[in-house]
Each structure stands twice: as structure tokens, then as C-alpha cells.
Structure 1
Amino acid sequence: MSENLLEVTGLQKHFPITKGLFKRQVGAVRAVDGIDLAVRAGETLGVVGESGCGKSTAGRLFTRILEPTGGRITFEGRDVSHLSTAALRPFRRDVQMIFQDPYSSLNPRHTVGSIISAPLQIQKIPTPQGTKKAVQELLELVGLNPEHYNRYPHEFSGGQRQRIGIARALALRPKLIVADEPVSALDVSIQAQVVNLLDDLQSEFDLTYVFIAHDLSVVRHISDRVAVMYLGKVVEIAERDALYASPRHPYTVALMSAVPVPDPSRRDRAQRNRVLLTGDVPSPINPPSGCRFRTRCWKAQEICATEEPPLVPRAGDPASHQTACHFPVVEGEAVQGRSPAGASA
């Protein structure tokens, strides 16, 4: 898993804010504002962060559903940042997306067979045994009945619809799949089934995943590495076990402390260790200078307001564990802002 399949450098996506009759631009929402990432072939890279941090926008940039404002996207060594629609067609065969909402990502007027066969027809991929047979095999692969070929999306449950979305993404046998919160709209028991299905498919087809989620427990189960985003930036990235055992960025520490603990015997201790952040998330229209987390950080000092910390390995960490913080948290350090015993998480 040493070869990088996808690399992004300085990636940006700014959505313009216009005003008046002539749509004069008066500002921009900096959804993604300069991220550097590499996705290794065969791995699962988890991307986590609270709502509005830009992780879903980043996923749409990786798949080139959105045109980047700045930066560079490289896939298998080829720059795909600003390709035309026609030039993107071969890229679409190798990179697919599973969308968050299984209820809105499937066209209600089309049958399941039509939905899953659409990528094959658009890419003009020959199917020796016929398109219907190929679609039925895909349905069986994701745990659905081949007889569902002629049914419509409204006849399925949420979990079944998400399986249809997975089958559509697999139709072209891609190398990279970006899964944008694929289980967040599903019941907990169904979430486990879908996550296990993705795991099995990865082993069978040698897939590479970018798994976007806000559920840290799910990310821990499925990911090899984890990137943490805050307000359009990656603030920490590390191997899964290293990140969960020793988070370095104060924001990551706060996120980890918010993970619900199912064991009642450990719940009181978890509540005592809960880090409560003060203040609101700054606006992506006008983010703070320097470190973007400094307005909510208990370790912020003067340098945090003037210099943006680079995403680099900190003292004592391996090269794979990178943190964008001037004063990273060290193991055993006392953390301010912890809630008192019995406080609500």
C-alpha cells in the first residue's frame, strides 16, 4: 500500500457570494481552503470532522463532480484538476462515489436495472452475457435479489437503497470509491451490514476507499488511516491506531472525547474526560487568521493568531502522524475544559 493512487495539493473550493442585480461577488464561502492529502492504493482513508468542515465538498472534488477553485488533483500520476467533460470520461471509470442519502441519490422514475446499467451504457462497456445479466450479478453481489431488476426505488428500504447505490458504483469496476457518509442515514443494525459489505467488496475487488463520516466509531472500524478536518483544513492525519491512541491536535482530542461509550461501567469516567469546547464554529466566509481552531482552543497563544501551523510530524511522532498545531497535546497532559462528573455529553 505504498503507491499513492490519488494525491491532492493545495486543494481549494470557494463558493462565491453574489449581491445585487448584476450578481457582483462580495465574498466567498471557503468550504475547502488548501488541503494536502495522499490516498494509497488499496487502503481506506477515513475523513472525519463536524458538520460544515468541508469533508463532503472535498469528496466531490476528489471525484471531480465539483471544479476546484485552486490546487491540484493527481490520479495515478495524471493531473485531472481541470479536465474537460470528454477528457474526464476515462477518469469516471476509475473513480466512483457512494452518496449520503439513499432516498435522493436514486431516480424514482427509473427501475433498479436502469439505474445500475446507466454507467455501463454511458461508458459503452460491453457485457458478454447481456446488460440485464450483468446488473443481476451486481445485485446479487451486494446482497439483493436478482429479481429486483424491474422494481423502483420506492419499493426498497433505506439499507436496500444504499446497496443499490453501492452496486451502481461497482458497475464500472473502479479503482477508487469515495463514500460520502454512506451509513449516516441508516439504522445502527443496517449500518453494520453496509460497513461489512464494503469491507468484503474491498477484499474481493482490491478497492481503495475514501470514507467520509462523522461517526468516529465507524471510521475506526473501517479505516487504515484517518484525516481530521476543521473549517476547510486538515488539522491531523495519522494511522488509525496511532490517532485513536494518542491524538495530538486539541480539536481531535475534543472529537475523541465526544464518542459515546456503550459500556455503562465506563460511562461515568468518559463523562469526566469529556472536553467541552467554548464558542461557536467560525464562519467559513471569514475564517480566523493563523490557526482556525484558536478561537476555541484552550492552548492558543499569540503565535496561533499570526502564523498558520503547517501540517507536519511533531516531535516524537512518526512521519505518518502529521499535526497542524503549534502546541500539540502530549500524552498524559492535563486538558482544560473537561466537564465535571455526571455532565451531559
Structure 2
Amino acid sequence: MTDTVKIPGQTAPAPDALLKVDGLVKHFPIKKGLLRRQTAAVRAVDGLSFDVRPGETLGVVGESGCGKSTMGRLITRLLEPTAGKIEFQGHDITHLGVGAMRPLRRDIQMIFQDPYSSLNPRHTIGTIVSAPFKLQGVTPEGGVRAEVQRLLELVGLNPEHYNRYPHEFSGGQRQRIGIARALALKPKLVVADEPVSALDVSIQAQVVNLLDDLQDELGLTYVIVAHDLSVIRHVSDRIAVMYLGKIVELADRTALYESPMHPYTKALLSAVPVPDPRRRGGGSERILLKGDVPSPIAPPSGCRFHTRCWKATERCKTEEPPLIALAPGRQVACHHPENPPGEASGASGAVPVEIGKPVPAKEAEEPEEAEQPEEESEESRESEEE
């Protein structure tokens, strides 16, 4: 599906890797004074390493400000990385200039988060969607207008709206226009920066299903950035959890949701609302993290999550945990992971008791003690009736 080129002096990427990121770093300098000297830096992305295989969807989740959107713009080379390496189909594109990146823009596209600000209000929909053809000098079969109308119909819009302006469309329709523009040149990799966060809940499902259908039809590869865990679970094959500029866990979707290993991942999943009242409180406890997210200007030493983690030790404060494989397809950056492989079922069952407050644990014991007198009272009543 993809043509890989071997670069002399570089380690060849995995044969099935379309995108390979190694040690990606992006620091935004903070300058003060008349001489505009750099006094500090915002460490938005601070060492990311992962790969994306052809045809799969990698979901990236985390709190606001953890560097998800910055990571997406670095992958598409809309931002210049401070350090690290980005390989696409075996080519090192980390520091390519504008001219050298232009041919690759056909294969790497981005869907922006805000459908209101990502479309030029002075241009018609036909001009917006046809812009990639003009910039790349591509003339599709049947003409540009016919191809744009086909793309509009592909994303669920009326082809007759070719001459309308963005303000005449709703938020969901504008996002569909952004999707049509991103798919105009049939890219191989699409980075979607929270594609449904600005849409109504009733529209989110339609756009998510549209992305799934287009992936099956066109063979696309997605990197979807989102903070909605339910959306990520529906569309992703693998999920990367970010915290303060770093990936703390990278795992398969099913394994991550069934048995999260990093405490931060467990806290995120505990916040997912359960719509079925019969399933609420069924062994899962709500984990309330204390304190605020530390500043990316001066992140904590050691493990960056230790200031809010209930399992933190002195080792966590001084030694930064590396992102290592604890199980097949599971990479975790934690000194004291949850549900470690090979742990006995009895030991794993004691973990939620440590996570929750003492009150839920006592409540879990009280019903067992309360059941005994109730059973004895029923037996005594039956004997009295006889």
C-alpha cells in the first residue's frame, strides 16, 4: 500500500509503519525584556514516540493543555519541531522546508477543530474545497467543479450548494466541508483535531460514522485527537493517553478500556458517565484527582503525574518512568502500574479499594454483615408461622 524508502545511516522503521515519531519535542519560548531574551519555555510536547500503521486509527486523549493539538500540528508539519524525528513512509520530514513539503501535502492532511474559524468566510464552498487542486496543480477527471460536487455529496452535503458561503451552513455542515477539503487529494494520513467537539451531540454520531465509512471506502489512516473517551473508543484501533506533554500509556482499545495500567488512565475512565442505572456502581469507583494540572513551563520532576497520583512514592518524585512494554501491545510509563501482567486475581481485586476513599470500602463490607441478620429474621419468622 505504501512505498518505503530506506535512508542510509538511519534505522529502518517497522515495515508496516506509515508514520513513525521518535522523541518528538516542541517548546515555545517565553521572552521578556527590551532585548527579548528567552527566560523560560512552554514544554507543550516533551518527547513522544509512537508509530501509525496503514489503515488503522490512532486515538489520542488527555486533559486540555496536555499537548494533543500541538502534536497533531507537528505531525502535519504546520509547526516546526524543536527536537525529535518524524518519518512518513520512510522519509525523514522533520525539518523539510515549505517547498520540499509541498508534494507531501497531498498525502498528509488535517481536519481542524473549529469549523467556524477554519473556513474563509469570504470564499464560497466551491472555492474552499477546490483550493487543494489549485495549490497542487492537479486537474481531476471531469473538471474541478464536478469533483468538488462529488466530494460534497460524499460527505453528505447537497452538491447544489457549490456557490454558497460558510455562514449559510450549520456547525455540523461546516465540519463536513472541512472533511471534504481534507479528502480532496485522497491523502494517506488524516490528522483530525477534535473533529466533533464543536458539534451538537446529535451531529457528533453522524460525523463519526462518516469518518468510519470514508476510511473503509478510501483506505485512510487516521490520527484522531479528542477528549471524549466514548468517541475515541468507537473509532480507534489503538489509543495513546497523554499527560503534560508525554504519552503515559499506549495500548489496544479493548485492553485499555478493560484493564488500564496507568493510574491516570484509570482516573480518566472512571469519569466516563454510565447511562444505564443498573450498571452504576458495579465495581467501578469515581476517582477524584486532587489539585490542578502542573504548569508546562515548570513540570514536576520525575513522573509528571506524581503530584496527583495516589500511588506516588519517593521514586516517582525523582526518577522519570520510561515508556516500556509491560505486555504485548501495551506500553506504560509508570513505576507502580495498575493491573500488572501476571498479578493474581486476588491482588488485582484489592486495587480499587486502595483507589477509592475509605468510605466506599466500608460501605462494601456493611451489606454483607447486614444480610446475615436479615436472613436469620426471615427464618425465625417462617418458624413462628409454622
TM class by shorter chain equals: over 0.9
Matched, 1:90 2:103: yes
Residue-by-residue CA offset, 1:35-72 (whole Å, 9 max, x unaligned) = 10101111000000010000110000010000000000
d(CA) in 2 for partners of 1:238 and 1:14?
Answer: 26
1:128 Cα deviation after fit: 2.5
Aligned to 1:257: 270
Structure 1 position 265, deviation (Å): 2.2
- Kindly indicate which of the two structures has a greater share of residues assigned to helix: 2
Following superposition, the deviation at residue 267 of structure 1 comes to 3.0
| 1:111 positional shift | 0.3
Instruction: Tell me, yes or no, if the aligned pair for 1:5 and 1:40 is still in contact at 8 Å.
Output: yes
**2:24 is equivalent to residue 11 of structure 1:** yes
Is the 1:277–1:337 Cα contact (8 Å) retained in structure 2?
Answer: no
Structure with the greater alpha carbon radius of gyration: 2
- The one-letter code matched in structure 1 to 2:161 is H
| 2:227 is aligned with 1:210 | no
SS of residue in 2 equivalent to 1:15? strand
AA aligned opposite 1:116? V
Which of the numbers 337, 349, 352 marks the counterpart of 1:332? 349
Q: The residue matched to 1:12 in structure 2 has which SS? A: strand
Q: Distance in 2 between matches of 1:80 and 1:151?
A: 37
The whole-number CA distance in structure 1 between the counterparts of 2:318 and 2:138 is: 54
- Counterpart of 1:282 (choices 257, 278, 294) is 294
SS at match of 1:193: helix
SS at match of 1:281: coil
Unaligned stretches of 5+ residues in structure 1: none
What is the TM-score of this pair, normalised by structure 2? 0.85
Q: Contact 1:178–1:211 at 8 Å: present in 2 too?
A: yes
Question: What runs of 5+ residues in structure 2 fail to find an aligned partner?
Answer: 2-14, 340-347, 361-386
Pairwise mapping of residues 158-237 of structure 1 onto structure 2 (< 5 A)? 158-237=171-250
Whichever residue aligns with residue 65 of structure 1, its letter is L
For 1:338 and 1:179, how far apart are their aligned partners in 2? 35
1:306 and 2:311 aligned = no
Deviation at 1:7, TM superposition (A): 0.6
- Percent identical among aligned pairs is 70
**Which structure is higher in RCO with an 8 Å CA cutoff and minimum separation 6?**
1
Shift of residue 268, structure 1, vs aligned partner: 4.4
Q: Which residue of 1 aligns with 2:303?
A: 291
CA RMSD of aligned residues (A): 1.3
Once the 2 structures are TM-superposed, how far is the Cα of residue 269 of structure 1 from its aligned partner?
A: 4.3
Q: Using the alignment, how far apart are the partners of 1:323 and 1:164 within structure 2?
A: 38
CA distance in structure 2 between the aligned counterparts of 1:89 and 1:207, rounded to whole angstroms: 20
Structure 2 distance, partners of 1:48, 1:283, is 18
Deviations 1:301-345 (A, max 9, x none): 11111211111122xx22x1010001101243424453666xxxx
Preserved CA contact (<8 Å) 1:34 1:232: yes
Using the alignment, how far apart are the partners of 1:246 and 1:67 within structure 2? 36
Spell out, residue by residue over 1:202-226, the C-alpha distance to the aligned partner (whole angstroms, 9 max, x if none): 0000000001100000000000000
Q: 1:247: which partner in 2?
A: 260
Alpha carbons 1:55, 1:212 under 8 Å: kept: yes
CA contact (8 A) 1:16 1:27 kept: yes
State the secondary structure of the residue aligned to 2:72.
helix
